[in-house]
Amino acid sequence: MLFRIAGGIKMAEKVDRRVRKTKAQLRAGLARLMQKKSIKEITVKELVEEVDINRSTFYLHYTDIYQMLESIEAELMEEITHLVADYPLDPLNNKESSYPFIEQIFTILDHNKDICIALLGKNGDMAFVNRIEKLIADTVLHRLSIRLPKDNRDIEYAYAFCLNGCVGMIKTWLSSENQESTQHMAELTHKLIDNTTHMYLEQALR
pLDDT score for 26: 97
Residues 6+ apart with CB under 8 A from 69: 30, 39, 125
DSSP track, 26-65: HHHHHHHHHTTS-GGG--HHHHHHHHT--HHHHHHH-SSH
Whether 41 and 112 share a structural domain: no
* End residue of a domain, out of 62, 82, 113: 62
pLDDT tens for the chain, 206 residues long, are 544 555 555 555 665 788 899 999 999 999 999 999 999 999 999 999 999 999 999 999 999 999 999 999 999 999 999 888 887 655 545 556 678 888 999 999 999 999 999 999 999 998 998 888 888 877 776 666 655 656 667 777 777 887 888 888 998 999 887 789 999 999 998 888 777 766 666 665 56
pLDDT score for 100: 85
* End residue of a domain, out of 62, 84, 102: 62
Task: Say how far apart CA 79 and CA 17 lie, in whole Å.
Answer: 20
pLDDT score for 98: 76
- 42 CB neighbour count, 10 Å cutoff: 21
Note if the pTM is more than 0.85: no
Whether 46 and 122 share a structural domain: no
Whether 37 and 81 share a structural domain: no
pLDDT score for 204: 58
* End residue of a domain, out of 36, 62, 88: 62
Domain tally, the chain: 2
For residue 128, the enclosing domain spans 71-206
Helix boundaries (H) for 87-125? 94-111, 113-120
Whether 139 and 48 share a structural domain: no
pLDDT score for 9: 52
Hey, what's the torsion of the CAs at 158, 161, 162, 166, to 10 degrees? 170
Helix (H) or strand (E) holding 204, with range, is helix 182-204
Whether 77 and 34 share a structural domain: no
Whether 132 and 181 share a structural domain: yes
Whether 46 and 98 share a structural domain: no
